[in-house]
Protein backbone atom coordinates (compact mmCIF):
# COMPACT_ATOMS: atom_id res chain seq x y z
CA UNK A 1 0.00 0.00 0.00
CA UNK A 2 1.35 3.37 -0.98
CA UNK A 3 1.42 6.15 1.59
CA UNK A 4 0.59 9.70 0.73
CA UNK A 5 -2.25 11.91 -0.42
CA UNK A 6 -5.03 10.58 -2.63
CA UNK A 7 -5.48 12.36 -5.94
CA UNK A 8 -9.19 12.29 -5.32
CA UNK A 9 -10.77 12.34 -1.86
CA UNK A 10 -12.46 9.08 -0.97
CA UNK A 11 -15.89 9.60 0.59
CA UNK A 12 -17.27 6.82 2.76
CA UNK A 13 -20.81 6.51 4.10
CA UNK A 14 -20.87 6.33 7.90
CA UNK A 15 -24.59 5.70 8.31
CA UNK A 16 -27.39 8.16 7.60
CA UNK A 17 -25.79 11.05 9.52
CA UNK A 18 -22.06 10.64 8.91
CA UNK A 19 -19.77 11.28 5.97
CA UNK A 20 -16.17 10.18 6.23
CA UNK A 21 -13.71 12.02 3.96
CA UNK A 22 -10.42 10.16 3.47
CA UNK A 23 -7.56 12.30 2.17
CA UNK A 24 -4.80 9.72 1.90
CA UNK A 25 -3.35 6.48 3.13
CA UNK A 26 -0.92 5.48 5.83
CA UNK A 27 0.24 7.30 8.93
CA UNK A 28 1.78 10.22 7.12
CA UNK A 29 2.40 13.80 8.37
CA UNK A 30 1.56 15.21 4.92
CA UNK A 31 -1.85 13.53 4.88
CA UNK A 32 -2.52 14.58 8.48
CA UNK A 33 -1.62 18.17 7.59
CA UNK A 34 -4.34 18.14 4.95
CA UNK A 35 -6.86 16.73 7.44
CA UNK A 36 -5.94 19.57 9.80
CA UNK A 37 -6.24 22.20 7.07
CA UNK A 38 -9.64 20.88 5.96
CA UNK A 39 -10.85 20.77 9.58
CA UNK A 40 -9.89 24.43 10.06
CA UNK A 41 -11.47 25.50 6.77
CA UNK A 42 -14.74 23.65 7.41
CA UNK A 43 -15.02 24.82 11.02
CA UNK A 44 -14.41 28.44 9.98
CA UNK A 45 -17.44 28.27 7.71
CA UNK A 46 -19.62 25.44 9.05
CA UNK A 47 -21.95 24.34 6.24
CA UNK A 48 -25.68 24.29 7.07
CA UNK A 49 -26.71 21.12 8.83
CA UNK A 50 -23.18 20.09 9.85
CA UNK A 51 -23.13 19.32 13.56
CA UNK A 52 -19.59 18.19 14.23
CA UNK A 53 -16.23 17.72 12.46
CA UNK A 54 -13.96 15.04 13.93
CA UNK A 55 -10.43 14.82 12.47
CA UNK A 56 -8.31 11.66 12.67
CA UNK A 57 -5.05 10.28 11.17
CA UNK A 58 -6.01 10.55 7.52
CA UNK A 59 -9.70 11.31 7.45
CA UNK A 60 -12.37 13.45 9.01
CA UNK A 61 -15.92 12.61 9.94
CA UNK A 62 -18.62 15.17 9.21
CA UNK A 63 -21.72 14.53 11.31
CA UNK A 64 -24.77 16.11 9.71
CA UNK A 65 -28.51 16.49 10.20
CA UNK A 66 -30.34 14.90 7.25
CA UNK A 67 -33.35 17.03 8.15
CA UNK A 68 -31.31 20.10 7.14
CA UNK A 69 -28.86 19.05 4.42
CA UNK A 70 -28.33 16.19 1.98
CA UNK A 71 -25.35 13.97 1.39
CA UNK A 72 -24.79 15.28 -2.13
CA UNK A 73 -24.84 18.91 -0.95
CA UNK A 74 -22.38 18.08 1.79
CA UNK A 75 -20.01 16.23 -0.56
CA UNK A 76 -20.13 19.13 -3.03
CA UNK A 77 -19.44 21.68 -0.27
CA UNK A 78 -16.47 19.74 1.08
CA UNK A 79 -15.07 19.28 -2.43
CA UNK A 80 -15.33 23.01 -3.15
CA UNK A 81 -13.63 23.83 0.13
CA UNK A 82 -10.83 21.41 -0.75
CA UNK A 83 -10.30 23.03 -4.15
CA UNK A 84 -9.94 26.42 -2.47
CA UNK A 85 -7.52 25.12 0.14
CA UNK A 86 -4.50 26.71 -1.53
CA UNK A 87 -6.13 30.17 -1.32
CA UNK A 88 -6.65 29.91 2.44
CA UNK A 89 -4.00 30.78 4.97
CA UNK A 90 -3.74 27.99 7.52
CA UNK A 91 -2.11 29.01 10.81
CA UNK A 92 0.96 26.91 11.68
CA UNK A 93 0.43 24.06 14.16
CA UNK A 94 0.58 25.10 17.79
CA UNK A 95 3.50 23.84 19.84
CA UNK A 96 2.50 22.70 23.29
CA UNK A 97 5.18 22.12 25.90
CA UNK A 98 4.34 19.50 28.50
CA UNK A 99 6.54 19.44 31.63
CA UNK A 100 7.35 15.89 32.71
CA UNK A 101 9.03 14.55 35.83
CA UNK A 102 10.76 11.44 34.51
CA UNK A 103 11.55 8.26 36.44
CA UNK A 104 11.12 7.33 40.11
CA UNK A 105 7.55 7.02 41.32
CA UNK A 106 6.48 9.19 38.37
CA UNK A 107 7.78 6.76 35.75
CA UNK A 108 8.12 3.29 37.30
CA UNK A 109 9.03 1.59 33.99
CA UNK A 110 11.83 3.95 32.87
CA UNK A 111 14.56 1.56 33.98
CA UNK A 112 13.01 -1.25 31.98
CA UNK A 113 12.79 1.01 28.91
CA UNK A 114 16.46 2.00 29.39
CA UNK A 115 17.68 -1.55 29.93
CA UNK A 116 15.80 -3.09 27.02
CA UNK A 117 17.24 -0.43 24.68
CA UNK A 118 20.77 -0.57 26.18
CA UNK A 119 20.56 3.03 27.34
CA UNK A 120 20.97 4.81 30.65
CA UNK A 121 17.91 6.41 32.29
CA UNK A 122 19.48 9.82 31.59
CA UNK A 123 19.75 8.96 27.88
CA UNK A 124 16.08 7.88 27.77
CA UNK A 125 15.08 11.24 29.28
CA UNK A 126 17.33 13.15 26.92
CA UNK A 127 16.05 11.38 23.79
CA UNK A 128 12.38 11.46 24.80
CA UNK A 129 12.39 15.15 25.74
CA UNK A 130 14.26 16.09 22.56
CA UNK A 131 11.46 14.69 20.38
CA UNK A 132 8.99 16.77 18.38
CA UNK A 133 5.73 14.85 18.36
CA UNK A 134 2.81 15.31 15.99
CA UNK A 135 -0.69 14.75 17.42
CA UNK A 136 -2.29 12.66 14.68
CA UNK A 137 -5.58 12.19 16.49
CA UNK A 138 -7.24 12.59 19.89
CA UNK A 139 -9.52 9.86 21.22
CA UNK A 140 -9.79 6.55 23.08
CA UNK A 141 -10.35 8.53 26.31
CA UNK A 142 -10.90 12.30 26.69
CA UNK A 143 -7.77 14.08 25.50
CA UNK A 144 -5.69 10.98 24.74
CA UNK A 145 -3.24 12.05 21.98
CA UNK A 146 -2.04 9.55 19.37
CA UNK A 147 1.50 10.83 18.76
CA UNK A 148 3.94 10.20 15.95
CA UNK A 149 7.68 10.77 16.09
CA UNK A 150 9.09 8.49 18.79
CA UNK A 151 12.84 7.91 18.33
CA UNK A 152 13.75 4.39 17.16
CA UNK A 153 16.04 3.91 20.18
CA UNK A 154 13.09 4.13 22.58
CA UNK A 155 10.77 1.56 20.98
CA UNK A 156 9.67 -0.79 23.79
CA UNK A 157 6.93 -3.44 23.84
CA UNK A 158 3.84 -2.99 26.00
CA UNK A 159 3.63 -4.41 29.50
CA UNK A 160 2.77 -8.11 29.50
CA UNK A 161 0.00 -7.46 31.99
CA UNK A 162 -1.71 -4.06 31.66
CA UNK A 163 -2.18 -1.97 34.80
CA UNK A 164 -5.76 -1.71 36.01
CA UNK A 165 -5.18 1.96 36.73
CA UNK A 166 -2.67 4.29 35.11
CA UNK A 167 -2.58 7.60 37.03
CA UNK A 168 -3.69 10.80 35.31
CA UNK A 169 -0.81 12.62 33.61
CA UNK A 170 1.32 9.50 33.07
CA UNK A 171 3.65 9.57 30.07
CA UNK A 172 4.33 6.24 28.45
CA UNK A 173 5.72 4.23 25.55
CA UNK A 174 4.05 1.32 23.73
CA UNK A 175 5.98 -0.12 20.79
CA UNK A 176 6.67 2.80 18.42
CA UNK A 177 4.12 5.09 20.10
CA UNK A 178 4.45 7.54 22.94
CA UNK A 179 1.67 9.39 24.65
CA UNK A 180 0.21 10.80 27.83
CA UNK A 181 -2.91 9.79 29.79
CA UNK A 182 -5.01 12.95 30.43
CA UNK A 183 -7.45 10.93 32.58
CA UNK A 184 -6.73 7.90 34.72
CA UNK A 185 -7.59 4.68 32.91
CA UNK A 186 -6.45 1.08 32.56
CA UNK A 187 -3.44 0.75 30.27
CA UNK A 188 -0.52 -1.34 29.17
CA UNK A 189 2.03 1.32 28.30
CA UNK A 190 5.50 1.47 29.86
CA UNK A 191 5.35 4.50 32.14
CA UNK A 192 8.42 6.73 32.04
CA UNK A 193 7.17 9.92 33.70
CA UNK A 194 4.25 12.08 34.71
CA UNK A 195 3.12 15.62 34.00
CA UNK A 196 1.62 17.83 36.71
CA UNK A 197 -0.37 19.75 34.08
CA UNK A 198 -4.12 19.28 34.06
CA UNK A 199 -4.25 18.45 30.35
CA UNK A 200 -8.00 17.82 30.40
CA UNK A 201 -10.33 19.78 32.68
CA UNK A 202 -14.01 19.57 31.71
CA UNK A 203 -14.88 22.78 33.60
CA UNK A 204 -12.17 24.86 31.91
CA UNK A 205 -13.13 27.11 29.00
CA UNK A 206 -10.65 25.21 26.82
CA UNK A 207 -11.10 21.71 28.27
CA UNK A 208 -8.02 20.34 26.49
CA UNK A 209 -4.64 22.05 26.12
CA UNK A 210 -4.05 20.80 22.54
CA UNK A 211 -5.83 19.34 19.55
CA UNK A 212 -5.16 17.07 16.61
CA UNK A 213 -2.55 18.57 14.27
CA UNK A 214 -0.68 20.38 17.08
CA UNK A 215 2.83 19.40 18.12
CA UNK A 216 3.90 18.32 21.58
CA UNK A 217 7.28 18.68 23.22
CA UNK A 218 8.09 17.15 26.60
CA UNK A 219 10.30 19.12 28.99
CA UNK A 220 12.12 17.38 31.81
CA UNK A 221 11.41 18.89 35.24
CA UNK A 222 12.44 18.08 38.82
CA UNK A 223 10.22 16.66 41.56
CA UNK A 224 10.10 20.11 43.21
CA UNK A 225 8.90 21.73 40.01
CA UNK A 226 6.32 18.96 39.66
CA UNK A 227 4.93 19.75 43.11
CA UNK A 228 4.90 23.50 42.43
CA UNK A 229 3.01 23.21 39.12
CA UNK A 230 0.71 20.57 40.53
CA UNK A 231 -0.40 22.91 43.36
CA UNK A 232 -1.09 25.66 40.86
CA UNK A 233 -3.10 23.34 38.63
CA UNK A 234 -5.09 21.98 41.59
CA UNK A 235 -8.00 24.34 40.97
CA UNK A 236 -8.98 22.38 37.86
CA UNK A 237 -10.39 19.39 39.66
CA UNK A 238 -12.45 16.76 37.94
CA UNK A 239 -16.10 16.82 38.89
Partner 1 sequence: MDTFLILTPGPYTTIQDKGRFGYQHIGVPLSGALDQFALRIANLLTGNPEDSAVLEITVLGPQLAVLQEADIALTGAEMQLKINDKPAASWQTIRVEPGDRISIQQIKTGCRGYLSVSGGFDTPVIMGSRSTYTGGKLGGQHGRPLKKGDILGKGAGPLLKKPRQLAKSQIPRYTEEITLRALPGPQDDFFDEGLDFLFKSEYTVTGKADRMGYRLQGAPIKTKENQPASIISEPTMPGGIQIPADQQPIILLVEQTVGGYTKIATVISSDLALVAQATPGVKVRFEQVSLETAHRLYNEDINRMQTIAEQLSGP
Instruction: Enumerate residues 6+ apart whose C-beta is below 8 A from 162.
Output: 186, 187, 188
Closest CA to 34 of 222, 238, 179, 212: 212
Which 8-state DSSP code applies to residue 91? P
Q: Any contact of residue 51 with partner 1 (CB under 8 A)?
A: yes
Q: Any contact of residue 78 with partner 1 (CB under 8 A)?
A: no
Q: Where are the alpha helices (DSSP H) in the chain?
A: 29-44, 71-83, 110-116, 121-130, 223-233
Q: Any contact of residue 66 with partner 1 (CB under 8 A)?
A: yes
Q: Any contact of residue 137 with partner 1 (CB under 8 A)?
A: yes
Q: Any contact of residue 183 with partner 1 (CB under 8 A)?
A: yes
Rounded least distance, CB 139 to partner 1, Å: 3
d(CA 136, CA 126): 23
d(CA 18, CA 71): 9
Q: Which of residues 8-37 bind partner 1 (CB under 8 A)?
A: 12-18, 20, 25-27
Provide the b/e sequence for 93-116 (b: ≥16 CB within 10 Å): beebebbbbbbeebbbbbebbbee
Q: Any contact of residue 141 with partner 1 (CB under 8 A)?
A: yes
Q: Any contact of residue 188 with partner 1 (CB under 8 A)?
A: no
Measured from the CB atom, the residue of 31 and 101 that comes closer to partner 1 is: 31
Residues 143, 169, 179, 193: which binds partner 1 (CB under 8 A)?
143
At residue 29, what are phi and psi to the nearest 5 degrees? -60, -35
Rounded least distance, CB 55 to partner 1, Å: 6
Size of the site for partner 1 (CB under 8 A): 48
Residues 200, 216, 221, 226: which binds partner 1 (CB under 8 A)?
200
The residues that touch partner 1, with contacts defined as CB under 8 A, are 12-18, 20, 25-27, 39, 51-61, 63, 66-67, 70-71, 137-144, 146, 183, 185, 200, 202-203, 207-208, 211-212, 238-239
Amino acid sequence: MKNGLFEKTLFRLAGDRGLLAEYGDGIDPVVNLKVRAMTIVIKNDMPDGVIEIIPSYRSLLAVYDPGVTTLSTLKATLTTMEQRLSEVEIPPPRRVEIPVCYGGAYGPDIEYVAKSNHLTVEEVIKIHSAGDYLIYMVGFTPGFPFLGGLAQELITPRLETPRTLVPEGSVGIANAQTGVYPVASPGGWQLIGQTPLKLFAPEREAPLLYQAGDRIQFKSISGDEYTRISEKEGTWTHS
